[in-house]
Structure 1
Amino acid sequence: MNICIIGGGLTGLTAAFALADEASVDVLEASSITGGLLSSTRVGDAWIENYYHHCFSGDRLLIGLMGELGIKGGLEWRKGSTGYYVDGTIHPLTTPLEILRCPVLTLGDKYRLARLTLSAKKYNADELDDVTARDFLLEKCGRHTYEAFFEPLLKSKFGAMRDQVSAAWMVSRIAIRSDRGPEGERLGYLKFGYHTLVDALVRAIREKGGAVHTGIAAHSVRQMEDGTWEVNGAPYDAVISTIRPSVLEGLGGPALPDIPYQGAACLTMGLPRDVTKGIYWVNMKDEAPYGAVIGHTNFIPEERYGSHIVYLASYFSERLPADHEQTMINDFCRRFAVRPEEIEWHFMTVDTAAGPVYTTGYRSLIAPYETDGLYMAGMFSAPNYPERSMEGSVAAGYEVAKRVMEGRA
């Protein structure tokens, strides 16, 4: 059997890895590098993710895949500290004592927030799909907690669409981040970066006889009268697409309900010193052209990179604002007392369809794994509802590979 997989991100590579023992596999990746949102850039002697990443202890399939690829030994478990930037000050929010000291919320606010965090895993996401996060949080935590804590986070991530986001996403987000002890969240990271996972997948696929092509986009998809397919004019027995369904439709794929997506622009910088007070993840309450400042080397030792690494995370709905990179740099330097000449290097990575926006009613938009004989899997698949993750992408890749084999049997 001859299979074409459109997209060389984590889902596409996982599906190719699962299929390559039984079929001839071609992976087409439009970018010059594989990995999609899990791709990395080499700076000096180190590899740095283009978008910050970590995994969780419950990511069974992802960790199992690392084991199959022989890289699980490089998985480290570390503590992730958090903070909140308010009125020009970073307030640590990692330990219970730090949370109690935080002046942003009242004691009652903190009690309601703690109660919601502890109960988040008990909620049924399906039952909250048609409820907005705003209404849910106002009911559970009150107006002051919502306006002082949750609304700035929703605004920085979803912008004008924040009032359309479902409570299903919100409780999932809270639940997945509740694996924490007195010292912070327990988060996983591959010692030499997640490029080792991407490279190991590509290497394993090729060792099994599969092909992974970079710099080659799918321009046309067409089903033949005998049920086989052509991609860019080349014949295949089956096709798996991991790209956004609306983009696939433009190539000749099936018409499906459009899933709202948003773009991401992530600025990565090397600095000679720590500027986030030892904190890994700082959410911004103050209005800024980015929603979070991630001090990567407050999570992974700076000695591995030779610089302190900081990510500035921003999202956009329609188009990226002009001069966005310089705007972020200027704002960051002003807020965090960094002289521009201190920035040793920087680069910005942009993806116009970085992830779905989980609006109310989203569950009804989830694309099936197979439509009209064409297979689909990715961030839009069921395992990535109501929150996308590396675990969800691996699960979708395995599931679509299983269905291809069952469908062609």
Structure 2
Amino acid sequence: MHICVIGGGLTGLSAAFRLSGSHEVTILEMNEEAGGCLSSYHLPDYAIESLYHHCFSGDRHLLSLLDELDLLRDLEWLHGSTGYLVNNQIHPLTTPLQIIRYPLLSFVEKIRLAFFVLRSRSADRGKLDSIPAKTYCVDQLGERIYSSFFEPLLRSKFGDQRDDVSAAWLVSRIAIRSDRGPEGERLGYLKGGYIRLIDSLLSYLNAEGCRIVTGHRVISATPDEGGWIVDGTRYDCLISTLPPQETARICSVPFTPLPYQGSACLTLGTSLDPTNGIYWVNMGDPAPYGAVITHTNLVPYDRYGEHIVYIASYFRGNPPEDSEEILLSDFCSRFDIPRDQIHWHRLRIEPFAGPVYVTGYRSLIPDPNPAPGLFIAGMFSPENYPERSMDGSIRAGEEIARRVMEWSD
């Protein structure tokens, strides 16, 4: 059976990885290289992800895939520190002592917050799908704790859509980040970068005869006597890893559009550490971005010879035409980084960076097999609900491959 996979991101590559041994597979990727949101910039001395990435100890499918590709031994577990920037000051919130010293909450409020976090790890996410995160937090903790602690997190991830996000996403976010100790959150990073995962998948697929076509933006796909014609070529089966509304446009199959958001992420290299040794700083002060992630405060600086910083922002519609200058100018001013200390900077705009997990999202998840011979999977799939991740994307790819194999039998 000849299978077409639209999209060479982690879901598409994972599906092809499971199918290539027994089927002929062609991957059509619109960008010039595969990897999707896990693709990398190629600097003279190293490669670095164009969007910040780390994994978690509970990412079983990712760990299993790394093991299959003989990469697991190079996955190292590091300590991720966190902080909030409020009133032009970064407040570290990694160790218990730092949390106790956090000035925007009283000691009693911190105790309430700690118990809330513990309860959230075992909360029934299905029941929380219809409850806004803000409502849940305010009811459980009060307006003050919400506005000073959780609202910056929601704003950094979802911007002006934060009031629509469900409590299911929030408790999932807490649970996925619960592997932490006094030194911070336990996060995984692959030595040499996740480009090694993408390259290993591509090497395997090439060896199995999988055809990988980059720079090909699919225009149309139409059903044809038990198969699909994709841009003039007939296939027996079609897997689309695009957002459902994009699959609908290409395939003329009706879907209820899912709420998505775009991201504009500025990555830069600098000789200065803007966040005082902290890996992840959420912006409590108004800013044109929601978080500043200093990659080299997680992964050792000496591997790169400079600090690597991600400035993360999200948008609906279209970002400002001068997004790069807006982000860079505010960052340099706010963090006292002279322009001549910025060695390089690159902006990645991703129109469909990920779903927004609004209330009622679970009922919007589309059928993975919406038409004969058509299968869909991606960040919108059940495996990525209610929080997307590399592990969820791999699970989605593997699950859709299983469905295709059952269908072909």
Whether TM-score is above 0.5 comes out as yes
| Pairwise CA distance, 1:253 | 4.0
1:275-294 to structure 2, matched below 5 A, reads 275-294=274-293
Q: Deviations over 1:196-244 (max 9, x none)?
A: 00111111011111111110111111101x2111111101110000001
CA contact (8 A) 2:156 2:282 kept: no
| Pairwise CA distance, 1:40 | 0.3
Matched, 1:349 2:348: yes
Q: What is the aligned partner in structure 2 of residue 228 from structure 1?
A: 227
Question: How far, CA to CA, are the matches of 1:146 and 1:99 in structure 2?
Answer: 16
| Pairwise CA distance, 1:90 | 0.6
Q: What is the aligned partner in structure 1 of residue 265 from structure 2?
A: 266
Question: How far, CA to CA, are the matches of 1:175 and 1:43 in structure 2?
Answer: 35
Question: How far, CA to CA, are the matches of 1:20 and 1:252 in structure 2?
Answer: 24
Q: What is the aligned partner in structure 1 of residue 116 from structure 2?
A: 116
Structure 1: gaps of 5 or more residues: none
1:138-157 to structure 2, matched below 5 A, reads 138-157=138-157
1:65-104 to structure 2, matched below 5 A, reads 65-104=65-104
RMSD: 0.9
Q: What is the aligned partner in structure 1 of residue 326 from structure 2?
A: 327
| Pairwise CA distance, 1:162 | 1.2
* Letter matched to residue 286 of structure 2: E
Question: How far, CA to CA, are the matches of 1:322 and 1:149 in structure 2?
Answer: 32
Question: How far, CA to CA, are the matches of 2:253 and 2:75 in structure 1?
Answer: 39
Question: How far, CA to CA, are the matches of 2:112 and 2:366 in structure 1?
Answer: 36
Q: What is the aligned partner in structure 1 of residue 219 from structure 2?
A: 219
Identity %: 52
Question: How far, CA to CA, are the matches of 2:270 and 2:165 in structure 1?
Answer: 35
Q: What is the aligned partner in structure 2 of residue 48 from structure 1?
A: 48
Q: What is the aligned partner in structure 2 of residue 206 from structure 1?
A: 206
Question: How far, CA to CA, are the matches of 2:167 and 2:78 in structure 1?
Answer: 29
Question: How far, CA to CA, are the matches of 1:192 and 1:62 in structure 2?
Answer: 17
Deviation larger for 274-283 or 12-21: 274-283
Matched, 1:400 2:400: yes
| Pairwise CA distance, 1:178 | 1.3
SS of match in other structure, 1:51: coil
Deviation larger for 58-67 or 158-167: 158-167
SS of match in other structure, 2:121: helix
Question: How far, CA to CA, are the matches of 1:340 and 1:295 in structure 2?
Answer: 17
* Letter matched to residue 60 of structure 1: R
| Pairwise CA distance, 1:166 | 0.4
Question: How far, CA to CA, are the matches of 1:196 and 1:54 in structure 2?
Answer: 14
Matched, 1:311 2:313: no
Structure 2: gaps of 5 or more residues: none
SS of match in other structure, 1:371: coil
Deviation larger for 114-123 or 382-391: 114-123
Question: How far, CA to CA, are the matches of 2:146 and 2:34 in structure 1?
Answer: 39
Q: Deviations over 1:246-302 (max 9, x none)?
A: 111111242111110000011011111212111100111000111111010010011
* Letter matched to residue 261 of structure 1: Y
Deviation larger for 208-217 or 351-360: 208-217
Q: What is the aligned partner in structure 1 of residue 360 from structure 2?
A: 361
Question: How far, CA to CA, are the matches of 1:251 and 1:206 in structure 2?
Answer: 27
What's the TM-score, normalizing by structure 2?
0.98
* Letter matched to residue 380 of structure 1: F
Question: How far, CA to CA, are the matches of 1:104 and 1:42 in structure 2?
Answer: 41
Q: Deviations over 1:44-89 (max 9, x none)?
A: 2101100000000110110100111111111000000111101111
Q: What is the aligned partner in structure 2 of residue 8 from structure 1?
A: 8
Q: What is the aligned partner in structure 2 of residue 375 from structure 1?
A: 375
Question: How far, CA to CA, are the matches of 2:228 and 2:171 in structure 1?
Answer: 41
Deviation larger for 318-327 or 397-406: 318-327
| Pairwise CA distance, 1:155 | 2.2
